[in-house]
Structure formats: structure tokens, C-alpha cells
Amino acid sequence: MSTWNYRVMKHKVDLSTLSDSLRKLLENQNDNYWYGIHEVYYNEAGEVDGWTDYEIPPFGETPEELKQCFELMSLAFDKEVLDYEKSCPTPDIIDTSELTDEDKKWITSSMKECGLE
């Protein structure tokens, strides 16, 4: 049975998507990252097996459920921050049948960087 929890993941800022003035400002900084909370999934051995593509906002159908969600998310700050760009996909969990060509290219590129292909 697999499990999941919330984890903080850092993302590299894509400078190519920014305005010229903002890009010039950020190019001189060493830490061009932003952070978000993701759902991270683990295999039966307790190893990271996958994560959500996008950060997860807190939510709830009632104020109490929203509070519980915040409490669970707050536990992510007690764990190591995962690097979204360096975290390697596990080949056996990737179902490419419903992915776009762009997503498939990203997965292939990430697997090569991780030495999985």
C-alpha cells in the first residue's frame, strides 16, 4: 500500500518567462527559486514514488476541514525540502498514454539527467 504526505518542493525560476527588467534583476541573484507544497507519494519501501505536478492550495468544505488541511501541510516544514527539478521520476510509475508531447519530452529529459534511460 502506498502512502503520501505534503512536502515543500523548490522550483527554479524560469527566467525566460520574465520581463527584461525583472530578468536582469534576478540574474544577479544566486537563489532564483520559489517554493510550494506538493502531495508526494511513496512506494512500499518508503521511497519517493511521485508528486503532484503543481503545488496544492489548502482547502476544505468547512472551516474545520480547512484548519485540518493547514495542520497537515504544516508538517511539511519539518521534512527535507525536495528539489522539483532534480527529483527523478520513477520509470514504472509513468503512464504516458494521456500526456502531451511537451510532458513526454520533459519526462524523457528528466530520466536522462537521472541516469534512468
CA separation for the pair 59, 62 (Å, rounded): 9
Domain boundaries, the chain: 3-86, 89-117
pTM: 0.63
> With contact defined as beta carbons under 8 Å apart, do 81 and 8 qualify?
yes
> For 52, what's the count of Cα atoms within 13 Å in the CB-facing half-sphere?
14
List of residues 6+ apart from 7 with CB closer than 8 A: 37, 38, 40, 51, 76, 79, 81, 82
Per-residue pLDDT of the chain (117 residues; tens, 9 = 90+): 678 999 999 988 777 776 777 767 667 666 778 889 999 998 888 888 889 988 999 999 999 999 999 999 999 999 999 988 776 544 444 455 666 776 666 666 655 554 444
CA separation for the pair 64, 10 (Å, rounded): 29
Question: 18-46 burial by CB neighbour count: b if 16+ within 10 A, else e?
Answer: eeeeeeeeeeeeeeeeeeebbebbeeeee
